Amino acid sequence: MREHISGYRIRAKQALGRRKVSKGDVILTSEPFVYMLTTPYKGLYCDNCLKRKKEAFQRCSGCSFEWYCNVDCQRNSWSLHKSECKKLRRLKPNYPVDTARLLAKIIIKLQNGGDKIEEKWTETKTRKFKDLMNHYTDIKKDDQRQEHLSVLKVVLYDYLGPENLPNEADLQGIFGRVVINSFSINDEEHCSIATGVYLAGSVFDHSCQPNAYITFTGTKLICRSLVDWPALDWNKVRISYVDVLLSTKDRISDLYHRYYFTCGCNYCSDLKRERISSSINCGNPSCEAPVHVSETDDPSLPVGPCEKCGFHDYAPDTRTLYKEIATFSREQLDLMKQKYYFDVSKLILEKQGSMLHKLNVLRVRALDAAYESAISLELWDKTVEFGSQNLDGIRYYYGENHPTFGLMLLKLGKVTYLIGKLEKSMRFFRDAEAILQISHGTSHPVYKDQLRPLMEQAQAEIAFKRARHKQ
């Protein structure tokens, strides 16, 4: 029942709830309503606690589909899994696709009292599954999503049985809440291994320039502040729903198609940022300023002048050449959405040559692709080369304190340490530390079990080398 209180009391209550929050403080933690390890990670991570496989892993003998660290993990997941297990066994080895399994988990949970479960997000406010946004009418009108749902319905019919399928409107509502509110759950290496739906955790709105950030420890969602608040205002806490390494136009379109709103955040309305994201190097070798080139303007228009030094003597085909490079880069990068390839990334960088400014978003994306693919091939020198070249770009797009930037510095520290460049690795570790203690906190395994021991090891080795040098 709604609490009837006067306006004055509401304000007084809110004022009481406003606490001082410093950068790095935890604003909220949330336990999953449901979660699911995604299929590629089956057998590599525990289906219950989402920890990476250590030694012996045990398989559910009923369905042969779930894997657990031990009996405790199996027991903990049994309350929900017992209903799935029989159904999975019947379909073996043609297990349902991930989204269908996630929807089924929610349907089973709701049928077993899950509709009454609520999670607190402030002292006085709670959320139930039905409180999550479902964008019912938007999704109803979205052909692509309706097509997806009709395929899922067939799978669910088979998996859950017709008697367990919710009615049409309820299923639409559940589907909507899942596509709008689910989170990718990352492991300690920042690799997305699972999907989860969180009641309190999904209270945050989006900004491309977020002031808060979500990390995970196992299945628990942790939201930390990236800024200082004299008094925390829940209405102004923002996380980012999308990858910020996209041009403003692409980001706005992505957000609109996935979440049905037009982003009006500071970044999206910042024309200067948009101009920088599509810029080339100034023709004056002693000037480092970006010079904007639009891909849509008439190719015969002259480029420049540079806003900093006034240089304007560009070759007449500069605009045409830029457009060609930008189109090629975008096409190739979009083709690599699932996986980055080293050869393709290198080809894009070769094509770009020295034309694109280091803050041009296509340059930053290409270097990021080259860096990521070099890591996966264990080409450590190349990892350091491409990563170092991209630090300014990543810092610019993600922001100074963003954990993605911190994790990149940690990775570069690890790699330079691995190839024996100790002093350099310490510099990366120190920069990573400044960010990660805010974004992840000092008790997070990334900080406590990875960064700190590595720093101590590197420091000890440096000291040892220095001592030997003096002898």
- 305 preceded by cis ω (within 30°)? yes
Return the number of the residue (383 or 401) whose C-beta is nearest Zn ion.
401
Q: Which one among 222, 223, 237, 263 touches Zn ion, defined by CB under 5 A?
A: 263
Residues 35-94 that bind Zn ion (CB under 5 A): 46, 48-49, 60, 62-63, 66, 69, 73, 85
**Per the structure block, which two tokens stand in for 339?**
């996986």
Using an 8 Å Cβ cutoff, are 458 and 422 in contact? Answer: yes
Return the number of the residue (282 or 451) whose C-beta is nearest Zn ion.
282
120 beta partners: 126
State the nearest-atom distance from the C-beta of 182 to Zn ion, in Å. 21
State the nearest-atom distance from the C-beta of 304 to Zn ion, in Å. 8
248, containing H or E segment: helix 248-259
State the nearest-atom distance from the C-beta of 262 to Zn ion, in Å. 9
Return the number of the residue (244 or 454) whose C-beta is nearest Zn ion.
244
State yes or no: residue 245 binds Zn ion (CB under 5 A).
no
State the nearest-atom distance from the C-beta of 371 to Zn ion, in Å. 25
Residues 281-320 that bind Zn ion (CB under 5 A): 282, 284, 287, 289, 306, 308-309, 311
User: How far apart are alpha carbons 91 and 63 in whole angstroms?
Assistant: 9
Q: Across 112-211, where does the E strand assignment appear?
A: 118-120, 126-128, 183-186, 192-198, 205-206
Using an 8 Å Cβ cutoff, are 214 and 223 in contact? Answer: yes
3-state helix, strand, coil in the chain (%, to 5): 50, 15, 35
State the nearest-atom distance from the C-beta of 213 to Zn ion, in Å. 16
State the nearest-atom distance from the C-beta of 96 to Zn ion, in Å. 13
Return the number of the residue (42 or 452) whose C-beta is nearest Zn ion.
42
State the alpha helices, DSSP H only, in 71-167.
71-91, 98-111, 136-141, 143-160
Report how many residues bind Zn ion under the rule CB under 5 A: 22
User: How far apart are alpha carbons 50 and 36 in whole angstroms?
Assistant: 9
Return the number of the residue (30 or 48) whose C-beta is nearest Zn ion.
48
Return the number of the residue (258 or 308) whose C-beta is nearest Zn ion.
308
Binding mask 205-244 for Zn ion (x = CB under 5 A): ---x------------------------------------
Q: Which stretch binds Zn ion (CB under 5 A): 174-182, 192-200, 202-210, 380-388?
A: 202-210
Using an 8 Å Cβ cutoff, are 66 and 45 in contact? Answer: no
Burial group, residue 364, by CB count within 10 angstroms (0-12, 13-18, 19+): buried
State the nearest-atom distance from the C-beta of 269 to Zn ion, in Å. 8
User: How far apart are alpha carbons 212 and 229 in whole angstroms?
Assistant: 11
Per-position DSSP letters for 24-40, written without gaps between them: T-EEEEE-EEEEEE-GG
Which spans of this chain sit near Zn ion (rule: CB under 5 A)? 46, 48-49, 60, 62-63, 66, 69, 73, 85, 208, 263, 265, 268, 282, 284, 287, 289, 306, 308-309, 311
